[in-house]
């Protein structure tokens, strides 16, 4: 999704360019540069542009599956191999599962919501211009609570979130929030990937309201995403706690990601 490129542009040096009907996207710089396979109707022209831009005869590629590996090998005249990147796998769920939380496998999630409802008189609100400042305040508190985490990307994420909130209509994004009394204690923001899949870019809940993660997850799926079949909750970045949480929602698809490398780089 374009929003991911925008949000993480600073952290990963994301760049994109269009030429002759081909869209080229890269991340990283110099020896660490990795390219997405080109977007456009002329694969060979796209690869040529990438090779010219990278100044590497055999640049590295980032791919979601191996279906175009043979085409890449054929064009470059050299064997490439796929290195599986487990930390980057996307977790994709049927929307109705997250919205309804039916069955034994979601029993603990329903318990979280029941517990939260017993503790608090809460309500769900979509994010609009009228309550955007509430979300920014909630985000500010969340980042303050987590300032000691060893995550060099948190400040980059924070700036990216602020940019998205300021430009939601332009970016085609929407969001929702959980309020306790008049305070936003959890929120989520996402955007569509296509007509069937919706991507969740941000999801935060304040430390004192941990069960609100389950609540905002369900409420957003139920209230905002009825037109979509799947929800992509993105990767776990290799974080054990995040992986456990995302697996607990029983993904329908684990979308594999690979780095595509020339054999002599392995």
- The string of pLDDT tens digits covering residues 128-144 is 999 999 999 999 999 99
Domain residue ranges in the chain? 2-87+257-265, 90-234
DSSP track, 9-69: HHHHT-EEEEETTEEEEEES-GGG-EEEPPBSS-HHHHHHHHHHHH--SS-EEEESSSTTH
Mean of the per-residue pLDDT values of the chain: 91
CATH assignment of 2-87+257-265, among 1.10.10.10, 3.10.310.70, 3.40.630.30, 3.30.470.20: 3.40.630.30
Distance between first and last Cα of the chain: 29
Structure tokens at 63: 């791919």
pLDDT band at 67 (very low <50, low <70, confident <90, very high): low
Mean pLDDT value across residues 92-104: 98
Q: Decide yes or no: CATH 3.30.413.10 for domain 90-234.
A: no
Sorting pLDDT into bands at 50, 70 and 90, what band is 73?
confident
Query: Sign of torsion, CA 182 184 190 191?
Result: positive
Rounded-to-integer distance, Cα 37 and Cα 72, Å: 9
Task: Grade residue 98 by pLDDT with cuts at 50, 70 and 90.
Answer: very high
On whether the CB atoms of residues 109 and 249 are closer than 8 A, the answer is yes
Residue 266 — pLDDT band, cuts 50, 70, 90? low
Q: Which residue has the higher pLDDT, 7 or 86?
A: 86
Find the helix packing angle between 107-119 and 212-224, rounded to 10°.
Answer: 100
Q: What is the edge-to-edge ordering of all strands in the sheet holding 15-19?
A: 15-19, 22-27, 34-36, 60-63, 258-262, 80-84
Report whether 139 contacts 205 (CB < 8 A): no
Scanning the structure block, which residue is given the tokens 């952290």? 11
Examine domains 2-87+257-265 and 90-234 and report if their fold is the same.
yes
Least confident of 27-31, 64-68, 102-106, 256-260: 64-68
pLDDT at 19: 87
pLDDT for the residue 153: 82
Of the candidates 200, 222, 234, 252, the one whose C-alpha atom is nearest the C-alpha of residue 113 is 222
Question: Where is pLDDT greater, at 149 or 139?
Answer: 139
Secondary structure element (H or E) that encloses residue 178, with its range: strand 174-180
Percent of the chain with pLDDT over 90: 65
pLDDT for res 204: 98
What per-residue confidence (pLDDT) applies to 76? 73
Task: Find the radius of gyration of the CA atoms of the chain.
Answer: 20
User: Could you report the per-residue pLDDT of 194-234, keeping only the tens digit for each?
Assistant: 999 999 999 999 999 999 999 999 999 999 999 999 999 99
Place of tokens 């957003």: 220
> What is the mean predicted confidence (pLDDT) over 42-65?
84
Compare 211 and 263 and report the one with higher pLDDT.
Answer: 211
Residues 173, 175, 181: CA angle, nearest 5 degrees: 160
């Amino acid at each position: 999704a374009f929003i991911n490129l925008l949000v993480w542009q600073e952290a990963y040096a994301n760049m994109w360019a269009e030429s002759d009907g081909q869209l080229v996207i890269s991340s990283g710089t110099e020896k660490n540069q990795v390219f997405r396979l080109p977007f456009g109707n002329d694969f060979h022209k796209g690869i040529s542009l990438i090779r010219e831009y990278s100044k590497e005869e055999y640049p590295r590629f980032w791919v979601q599956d191996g279906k175009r590996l043979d085409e890449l090998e054929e064009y470059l005249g050299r064997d490439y191999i796929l290195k599986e990147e487990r930390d980057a796998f996307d977790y994709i769920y049927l929307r109705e599962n997250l919205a309804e939380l039916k069955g034994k496998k979601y029993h603990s999630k329903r318990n979280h919501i029941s517990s939260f409802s017993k503790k608090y008189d809460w309500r769900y609100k979509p994010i609009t211009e009228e309550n955007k400042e509430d979300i920014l305040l909630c985000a500010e508190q969340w980042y303050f609570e987590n300032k000691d985490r060893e995550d060099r990307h948190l400040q980059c994420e924070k700036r990216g979130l602020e940019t998205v909130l300021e430009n939601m209509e332009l970016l085609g994004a929407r969001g929702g929030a959980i309020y306790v009394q008049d305070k936003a204690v959890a929120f989520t923001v996402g955007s569509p990937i296509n007509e069937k899949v919706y991507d969740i870019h941000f999801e935060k809940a304040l430390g004192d309201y941990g069960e609100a993660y389950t609540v905002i997850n369900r409420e957003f799926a139920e209230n905002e995403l009825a037109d979509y079949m799947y929800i992509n909750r993105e990767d776990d970045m290799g974080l054990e706690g995040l992986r456990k949480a995302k697996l607990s929602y029983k993904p329908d698809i684990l979308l594999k990601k690979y780095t595509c490398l020339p054999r002599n780089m392995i």
